[in-house]
């Protein structure tokens, strides 16, 4: 039973870590000389990586970019709040009840990161052939799966009645 | 107080930078501060230097009570004087802006004998679309969602607080029968409830700690206009305030602690199940 609690907690924490890395690090799209993302762009010049602003223009819509930023930040916030809510519910929940509110927070985090990753997939780098999706993008989708599983676990988990 | 004879510096104010949409009009303001009274020979001059060029041309001049606008240059028929020299305002209005109007406008004002001063410049930027400032959308989305979350939490706790205080209680059931004990208050004639309408009752659902039950029943009937003797019941509102027995959780604390697993975390973990 302790293993169960530890596993649930570890799953949640792993989700939080993946979300934080995906949001903070600038590596959603990479080419040989560019590592770019939702906050800024790293350009490799003469062997040095330079930190530059993201380009503006019709191929880089500003409003969608800010939507991706906002929803990935919200996903992190909901997941972190979810940890505290889960710990609080561990102590205060009545017997026989389910961890619904923790599940809701994780589900919201899952929803937000799905929105962020979907908008990014659909609106950015659509025609660029040389380049590949960086580790932040992949981590964002993995975090989506993990938070979804985590929220299902919270919806099914119960406190014993005896 | 004796005013010294030499002229003192005049200070000219314009904006720093102005943004405008393509095709719109913009008012470039220019004003000055001077220790002297506004003279009748006050003059205003505007010059324009396009972006990327080093020459400036004069586009407006006000002197001797007359305003002279550009009639040959890039702003012919587009420039208008909208200032009030008596109030030290030398503003001009540019109409129907184009991208070629990007540049720096310099205002120079002179208030004789106060002529020593530094002209002030305002930079004009013409946009096709007003650019979204970085982070505005991001911040507003995050703020709105978090604010909504806080609002929901506050409302939830407010409702729980009100229910616990017995201001009102929440449980909606359709025409069930309830046992009533204790005093009842009746007002006026009490006709039987209209069976065709489901009676909405509010019954106590709060957890509280004592055993007394109080029932307040309010029935509203309409005294009829004439034909029917007893009034017709339009609505019956029953408020039942119940305080239940205080009870601890079944089994109390000892239920799961009895097994041989010591430790606080183990006890916590043993409370979880999937079934």
Cβ distance B273 to A66 less than 8 Å, yes or no, reads: no
Residue B109 near residue B42, CB atoms below 8 Å: yes
Cβ distance A62 to B132 less than 8 Å, yes or no, reads: yes
The per-residue pLDDT for B112 is 85
Of A47-51, B227-231, B239-243, the least confident: B227-231
Residue B61: which of B30, B35, B87, B33 has the closest Cα?
B30
pLDDT (tens digit, 9 = 90+) per residue, B6-34? 556 889 999 888 888 888 899 999 999 98
Sequence length of chain A is 162
- Cα gap B3→B7, rounded to integer Å: 10
Q: Could you tell me what percent of chain B has a pLDDT over 90? A: 21
The per-residue pLDDT for B245 is 53
Contact residues, chain A, for B137 at CB < 8 Å: 62-63, 66-67, 70
Angle at A161 between CA A159 and CA A162, to 5 degrees: 125
- pLDDT for residue B4 is more than 60: no
> What does the radius of gyration of chain B's CA atoms come to, in whole angstroms?
41
Cβ distance A160 to B265 less than 8 Å, yes or no, reads: no
Partner residue facing A5 (CB), from B249, B250, B268: B268
pLDDT (tens digit, 9 = 90+) per residue, B55-94? 999 999 999 888 888 888 888 888 989 888 888 898 999 9
B146 touches chain A (CB under 8 A): yes
Q: Which two tokens stand for residue A24?
A: 């903070």
The per-residue pLDDT for A7 is 93
Angle at A34 between CA A30 and CA A39, to 5 degrees: 85
| A-B C-beta contacts closer than 8 Å | 76
Residue with the larger pLDDT of the pair A108 and B236: A108
Q: Which two tokens stand for residue B88?
A: 């030290």
pLDDT (tens digit, 9 = 90+) per residue, B99-113? 888 999 999 999 888
pTM: 0.54
Domain ranges of chain B: 11-127, 133-165, 209-221+230-275
The per-residue pLDDT for B231 is 64
Which CATH code for domain B11-127?
2.60.40.10
The per-residue pLDDT for A84 is 95
Cβ distance B269 to A5 less than 8 Å, yes or no, reads: yes
- pLDDT for residue A26 is more than 70: yes
Partner residue facing A74 (CB), from B135, B137, B145: B145
A11 touches chain B (CB under 8 A): no
Q: What is the mean pLDDT of chain B?
A: 73
The per-residue pLDDT for B253 is 40
A2 touches chain B (CB under 8 A): yes
- This complex has an ipTM of 0.79
What residue of A is the nearest CA neighbor of B264? A2
């Amino acid at each position: 039973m302790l293993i169960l609690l530890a596993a649930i907690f570890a799953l949640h924490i792993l989700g939080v870590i993946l979300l934080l890395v995906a949001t903070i690090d600038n590596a959603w799209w990479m080419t040989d000389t560019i590592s770019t993302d939702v906050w800024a762009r790293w350009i490799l010049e003469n062997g040095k990586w330079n930190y530059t602003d993201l380009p503006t223009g019709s191929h880089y819509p500003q409003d969608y970019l800010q939507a991706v930023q906002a929803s990935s930040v919200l996903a992190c916030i909901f997941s972190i709040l979810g940890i505290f809510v889960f710990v609080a519910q561990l102590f205060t929940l009545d017997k026989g009840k389910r961890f619904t509110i923790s599940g809701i927070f994780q589900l919201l985090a899952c929803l937000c990161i799905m929105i962020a990753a979907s908008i990014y997939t659909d609106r950015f780098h659509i025609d660029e052939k040389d380049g590949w999706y960086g580790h932040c993008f992949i981590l964002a989708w993995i975090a989506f799966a993990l938070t979804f599983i985590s929220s299902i676990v919270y919806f099914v988990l119960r406190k014993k009645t005896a | 107080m004796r005013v010294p004879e030499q002229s003192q510096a005049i200070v000219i104010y314009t904006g720093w930078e102005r943004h405008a949409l393509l095709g719109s009009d913009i008012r470039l303001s220019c004003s000055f501060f001077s220790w002297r009274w506004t003279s009748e020979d006050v003059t205003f001059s505007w010059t324009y230097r396009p972006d990327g060029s080093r020459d400036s041309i004069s586009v407006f001049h006000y002197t001797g009570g007359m305003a002279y606008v550009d009639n040959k240059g890039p702003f012919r028929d587009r420039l208008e004087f909208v200032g009030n020299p008596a109030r030290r305002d030398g503003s001009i209005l540019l109409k129907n802006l184009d991208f070629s109007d990007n540049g720096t406008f310099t205002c120079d004002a002179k208030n004789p004998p106060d002529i020593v001063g530094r002209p002030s410049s305002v930079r004009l930027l013409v946009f096709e679309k007003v650019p979204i400032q970085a982070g505005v959308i991001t911040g507003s989305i995050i703020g709105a969602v978090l604010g909504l979350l806080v609002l929901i939490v506050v409302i939830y706790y407010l409702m729980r607080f009100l229910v616990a205080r017995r201001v009102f209680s929440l449980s909606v059931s359709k025409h069930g029968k309830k046992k009533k004990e204790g005093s009842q208050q009746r007002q006026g004639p009490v006709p039987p409830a209209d069976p065709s309408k489901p009676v909405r009752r509010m019954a106590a659902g709060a957890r509280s700690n004592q055993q007394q039950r109080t029932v307040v029943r309010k029935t509203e009937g309409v005294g009829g206009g004439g034909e029917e003797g007893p009034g017709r019941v339009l609505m019956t509102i029953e408020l039942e305030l119940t305080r239940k027995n205080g009870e601890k959780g079944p089994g109390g604390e000892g239920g799961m602690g009895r097994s041989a697993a010591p430790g606080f975390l183990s006890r916590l973990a043993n409370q979880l199940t999937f079934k």
